[in-house]
Amino acid sequence: MPVSPARAAAFEILLRVEREDSYASELLHSASFAKLSDRDHGLTTELVMGVLRWQSVLDQRLAAASSQKLERLDGEVLAALRLGVYQLQFLSRVPARAAIFESVELVKAARKRSAASFVNAILRKIAETGAEDIFTQVGNSSDAISLAQTAAHPQWLVARWVEHYGLEAARQICAHDQTVPGMAIYVHGYRSDDGRFRDDQFRDDQSEAELAEAGVQLAPGRLLSTARRVLAGDVTGTRAYREGRISIQDEASQLVGLLAGGGELILDCCAAPGSKTALLARRNPHAKVFATELHPHRARLLQSLSRSPNVHVIAADARHLPFAHAFDRILADVPCSGTGTLARNPEIKWRLKAEDLYDLQSRQVAILKSAFAQLAIRGRLVYSTCSMEPEENEAVVEAALDATAEFKVVDCKGELEQLQQSGEMSWEDVASLLAGPYLRTIPGVHPCDGFFAALIERR
């Protein structure tokens, strides 16, 4: 009997994530798996992301049941075992016999037939012991070590969060990382008679009715009144998405774009995949918005996806920006560890090492200093990451500003209060979004990914 399409796809994706350092979210939306039915694609997503989120907990259960050390197993065998134990532990709607049988068949199909009886025996042993109440264990964790073990996070990373944010916030971060994150969208609006895009027209009738007709159910954003949360339906299948009137973008990411404000010349110096570029362009329709991307193929993709006539995409290294003119506004949303997005990209936590933060930091400082050179007098720059780590955030800003009086940090509090007063930000507790003068969102504490942003002005 052949393996089900969903489990075969999940097995392939998990192997590629492990061997090629691929990202699961990109593979799940790649052309290779586009032919899966909606039901199979949903199960594939559940299996892949679930295994990656809970990998260390799954391995604990496997190690306890196995006579062999997991590191000695072939990759195909370990992937099949993880898929099996995830279904036994977390998917009560899947019969145990189906989970076990399909994992055994996956091993056979991968030409590891000699391991079939081993996989069968291990999973049957685990099935007999039953599932554990893991989420209760996460909430009861009393220190970084127990929290890391129960919440399936690296101990070194959780220890940092406990140190910087406190144990309760670390619990909330870990719990958030282990759940399926919600989807938020930014609606760019329709072009009015004066040629400007009007976000408020979305709330009138046309866009909302169009999305509703396509089966998309929306709710107001929790952080931003200009955002919409997707409760049900496929946004990517709508005409509004295809025409570029909607961007899938986390609410914290949208907030960073709003902080950048407006001007006549705007630069997004690390632009791909382009959601912040689109937001800046649509909010400033009379500005020239330049977007740079290091890799030419990604720059071409960014150009093809850009629907705004005022966006100009250039393939360039953000550490060596090629512009002769100065910009009124610059957004430097730099490449980072992504520890604020582990709910969406759980594989990051198993790849990242503490020493990687310093390699990233050196690149981030270089990008920020390069962006400084392109900023006009009295211009403003937003430096941002989706990282929870001080080495990539405050430390980068301090290093770039060291030994120069030409630039100053502007307190984000005033900007956030203005967004609140204008009705664009619906979150009431502005103080909770601040870490000193900086913007700091914390997953689980706030209804969004973890982002950091610094607002810097040239004197």
Q: E strands within 43-93?
A: none
The predicted pLDDT at position 195 comes to 37
Query: 427 with 223: CB under 8 angstroms?
Result: yes
The predicted pLDDT at position 189 comes to 59
The predicted pLDDT at position 201 comes to 40
pLDDT at residue 203 above 60? no
pLDDT digit string (tens) for 408-423?
Answer: 999 999 999 999 999 9
Question: What is the pLDDT averaged over residues 342-349?
Answer: 98
At residue 253 the predicted structure's pLDDT band, cuts being 50, 70 and 90, is very high
The predicted pLDDT at position 1 comes to 61
User: What is the SS3 assignment for 186?
Assistant: strand
Q: Any idea what DSSP says for residue 223?
A: S
pLDDT at residue 449 above 90? yes
Which residue's entry shows tokens 């100065």?
A: 326
Residues 6+ apart with CB under 8 A from 175: 135, 138, 139, 151, 444
At residue 2 the predicted structure's pLDDT band, cuts being 50, 70 and 90, is confident
The predicted pLDDT at position 204 comes to 37
Question: What is the pLDDT averaged over residues 69-73?
Answer: 95
Alpha-carbon gap, residue 227 to 309, rounded angstroms: 23
Residues 6+ apart with CB under 8 A from 296: 315
Give the Cα-Cα-Cα angle 357, 360, 366 (nearest 5 degrees): 140
pLDDT digit string (tens) for 388-401?
Answer: 999 999 999 999 99
Burial 283-303, CB ≥16 within 10 A → b, else e: bbbebbbbbbbeeeebbebbb
The predicted pLDDT at position 352 comes to 98
Alpha-carbon gap, residue 88 to 46, rounded angstroms: 13
At residue 198 the predicted structure's pLDDT band, cuts being 50, 70 and 90, is very low
pLDDT digit string (tens) for 56-69?
Answer: 999 999 999 999 99
The predicted pLDDT at position 196 comes to 41
pLDDT digit string (tens) for 128-146?
Answer: 988 777 777 777 788 999 9
What percentage of the chain reaches a pLDDT higher than 90? 80
Query: Which amino acid is residue 378, in one-letter code?
Result: R
Distance (Å) of CA 27 to CA 13, 44, 191, 198, 450: 7, 11, 34, 35, 23
Question: What is the pLDDT averaged over residues 161-166?
Answer: 97
Query: Which amino acid is residue 312, in one-letter code?
Result: H
The predicted pLDDT at position 188 comes to 76
Query: 137 with 149: CB under 8 angstroms?
Result: no
pLDDT digit string (tens) for 300-329?
Answer: 888 877 778 899 999 999 999 999 999 999
Distance (Å) of CA 426 to CA 229, 278, 330, 417, 457: 13, 22, 25, 10, 26
- Mean pLDDT, all residues of the chain: 92
pLDDT digit string (tens) for 6-40?
Answer: 999 999 999 999 999 999 999 999 999 989 999 99
Q: Which domains does the chain have, with CATH numbers?
A: 5-132 (1.10.940.10), 135-177 (no CATH), 183-248 (3.30.70.1170), 251-458 (3.40.50.150)
Rg value, the chain, Cα: 23
